[in-house]
Chains A and B, each alone.
Chain A
Amino acid sequence: MNAVYVQHFDKIKFFVLQNNGSEDDAKDVYQDAFVTVWRNIQLDKFKPQNETSLGGYIYQIAKYKWIDQLRSVKYKKTIPLAEANIAFIEEETLADDDVEYIEAVKANYRQLGDQCKKLLNLFYFEKESMREIAVHFSWTEASAKNNKYRCLQKLREMTNTKDSQ
């Protein structure tokens, strides 16, 4: 994933720099697009056929996000783009409530303890098995599973409490 990230940044940087943006703007818009693309893949909204179609899709999303930002108040007077009038591609497939819920989960994840974060990171990102994770923390496999459940429960509770407020 790191390689994919690195590979497709240049083209977006070029586009943003050509269109009133800074390198930091390029980074922000690219990271935002990268997460959106990842979400759409998870939701089966986009199925990459190969590296090229993935790259093209990231580029397209990032480009539209930047155009959208240029349209916003901050840049309103300076839209230099020929593309400024293209129809925005449909980007969000989730209901507003669901998006809000996901954002709350993300904020709460950052509040979790280090051990939970490490465990969830190993399981969901590094794709380690429960057995490997158990070895990592010197636990039994059963307690690794219990701990994973506890961390997820914690995350749920934090999110659901905020949700009902």
Chain B
Amino acid sequence: MIHQHDISQEEFEQIERYLNNEMGAEEAAVFVAQMITDEKLQQKVEEVKLLLLGLKEAVLEEKLNTFHSNIKSNDQPLSKTVPMFPRYKKWLIAASVISIAFLSVWWLVNADNENEKLYAAYYSPDPGLITAMGNSEDYSFEKAMVDYKEGNYKKAIDAWSKLKVEAPQSDTLNYFLGVAQLANKNSDKAKELLGTITANVNKPFYKEACWYLGLILLKEGEKDKALELIKRSGNTDADKLINEVTKK
């Protein structure tokens, strides 16, 4: 592309108004008609568009480190955020791990159903998100996330359900409510919530939701639908599980 036309101040301002949709309908129509016949004008518009895009990006990039410093000031050093739970609560996690292990064994011994065995073997609760507990806006969400990670599913469900009233369309909420309901053994509610995510491949947590919904359907004997979802989940265990189900 050649960028060598002179652009006067007046013309520049006109092009900018066109690009920003700030022209009235009539002026815009005249301008567009002019562009169609005047190739030079077309090139000028194209150049100004790219120039402004680059300029705005450059300004944005200068701001990013300032933005980032706002995260740091809210956050603890990395070494402290990696352990996802406060130290004094470790025993709680240990207890919930043991109880989950116990439950899994119980399932394996008692499940008279192959699918339920598979479910028990492959299901583990979603690990949840890291919580920084800094941003006041997200405080109640994050507080519930801590509850969730400690295995207090009922408490997390109550808190997130309250937030859902304000933001019924929030995919993050629907996903975590879904996995919390599942962890709390409410498969029906989990199915409904996770279904809102798996309906659209562009949603956040799409793959994760496919995995959990697939597991639920597998447990309920809906093998075909389950396999499709498990396939879409791309989970590290997906292939192994699909093999086990299909070889039967």
Contact = CB atoms under 8 A, between A and B. Distances in A.
Interface of A: 1-3, 5-7, 9-11, 13-14, 17, 23, 27, 31, 34-35, 38-39, 42-43, 50, 52-53, 55-57, 59-60, 82-83, 86, 97-98, 101-106, 109-110, 120-121, 124-125, 145-146, 149, 152, 155-156, 159-160, 163-164
B171 A52 contact: yes
B74 to A, nearest CB: 7
Given A35-B57, A106-B57, 6 more contacts: A7-B138, A56-B171, A102-B53, A149-B13, A156-B7, A164-B4
A74 B171 CA distance: 35
Contacts of B138: 7
B82 interface: yes
A14 B171 CA distance: 18
Given A10-B130, A124-B56, A60 B1 contact: no
Contacts of A106: 54-55, 57-58, 61
Interface string B1-18: 101100101001100000
Contacts, number: 136
A121 B59 contact: yes
Q: Which of B7, B51, B62, B68 has the most CB of A within 10 A?
A: B51
Given A7-B135, A14-B129, A156 B3 contact: yes
A4 B69 CA distance: 14
A125 B59 contact: yes
A159 B3 contact: yes
Nearest to A94: B50
A53 B82 CA distance: 27
